[in-house]
């Protein structure tokens, strides 16, 4: 019990009654925790749209001319993981020739939009849909891109032969590097794209650089066998 002075008069205030009135007037969201005899706050998870302040973020991925026909054939396979797993909205804008991705009210993961953009961008680089989908399922996958001229300045027939050494007859050398390092490689003219984990990308890049510099494929094969055996022992 406390005594307060109002306009020169003493007024008796019951603190316990005030506390009870306060408890009745305030609605507390939470669950009772018997261990601490207190209410634990319980708030619903924010959707990606709410986390962005109610705005609909979007991404645009440009479609190269040589990927139009493959995109038409693989469109259902591209759309399914983006809509069903990431809960994003996707459409092909034929005027700007871009694929547009946008958050929706059902999108829960704040990073889903960037994952979807990386997945579509990987497909535009030339990776197969089943390989690019790994970017959505695994967190430690990256794409490394470099050009042949970044390794060695080559022109004319020398450049063509270097690209041929990386690919091999019927793609044999490329497949050998992929299987040994557990990566996926795309040869797009002078550009080389590698999809995989950080350590595996480094192994594949070293092998490709050796081929560009003029190393015999047989020597690279032997090194890849050693690398593959070490990786099998590690796992």
Task: Give the Cα separation of 103 and 89 in Å (integer).
Answer: 6
The residues, any chain, with a CB within 8 Å of residue 194's CB and separated by 6 or more, are 143, 144, 145, 183, 184, 185, 201, 204, 205, 208
pLDDT tens track, the chain, 235 positions? 544 454 555 545 555 554 444 444 444 455 555 666 566 666 566 555 555 555 678 889 999 999 999 999 999 999 999 998 888 899 999 999 999 999 888 887 778 898 999 999 999 999 999 999 998 888 889 999 999 999 989 898 999 998 998 888 888 889 989 988 899 999 988 899 999 999 889 989 999 999 999 888 888 888 888 877 877 776 5
48-137 with 142-234: one CATH topology?
Answer: yes
User: Are the CB atoms for 47 and 107 separated by under 8 Å?
Assistant: yes
Rounded to 10°, the helix 157-167/172-181 angle is 50
3-state secondary structure of 82: helix
pTM of the model: 0.72
Superfamily of 48-137 according to CATH: K Homology domain, type 1 (3.30.1370.10)
pLDDT tens by residue, 167-189: 888 888 899 899 888 999 999 88
Q: Provide the sign of the torsion angle of the four alpha carbons 17, 20, 24, 29, taken in this order.
A: positive
pLDDT tens by residue, 119-144: 999 999 999 999 999 988 888 899 99
Superfamily of 142-234 according to CATH: K Homology domain, type 1 (3.30.1370.10)
Place of tokens 């547009």: 100
Place of tokens 């009772």: 32
User: Domain segments of the chain: what residues?
Assistant: 48-137, 142-234
User: Are the CB atoms for 147 and 163 separated by under 8 Å?
Assistant: no
The residues, any chain, with a CB within 8 Å of residue 114's CB and separated by 6 or more, are 59
């Amino acid at each position: 019990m406390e005594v307060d002075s109002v306009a020169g008069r003493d007024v008796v205030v019951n603190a316990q009654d005030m506390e009870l009135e306060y408890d009745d007037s305030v609605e507390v969201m939470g669950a009772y925790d018997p261990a601490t005899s207190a209410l634990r706050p319980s708030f619903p998870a924010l959707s990606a749209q709410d986390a962005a302040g109610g705005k609909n973020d979007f991404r645009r991925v440009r479609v190269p001319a040589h990927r139009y026909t493959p995109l038409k054939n693989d469109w259902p396979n591209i759309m399914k993981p983006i809509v069903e797993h990431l809960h994003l909205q996707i459409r092909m804008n034929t005027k700007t020739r871009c694929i547009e991705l946008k958050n929706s009210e059902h999108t829960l993961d704040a990073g889903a939009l960037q994952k979807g953009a990386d997945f579509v961008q990987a497909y535009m680089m030339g990776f197969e849909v089943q390989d690019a989908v790994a970017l959505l399922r695994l967190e430690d996958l990256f794409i490394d891109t470099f050009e042949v001229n970044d390794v060695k300045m080559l022109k004319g027939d020398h450049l063509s032969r270097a690209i041929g050494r990386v690919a091999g007859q019927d793609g044999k050398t490329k497949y050998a590097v992929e299987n040994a390092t557990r990566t996926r490689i795309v040869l797009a003219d002078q550009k080389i794209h590698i999809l995989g984990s950080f350590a595996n990308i480094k192994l594949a890049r070293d092998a490709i650089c050796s081929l560009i510099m003029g190393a015999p494929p047989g020597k690279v094969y032997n090194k890849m066998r050693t690398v593959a055996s070490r990786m099998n022992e590690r796992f």
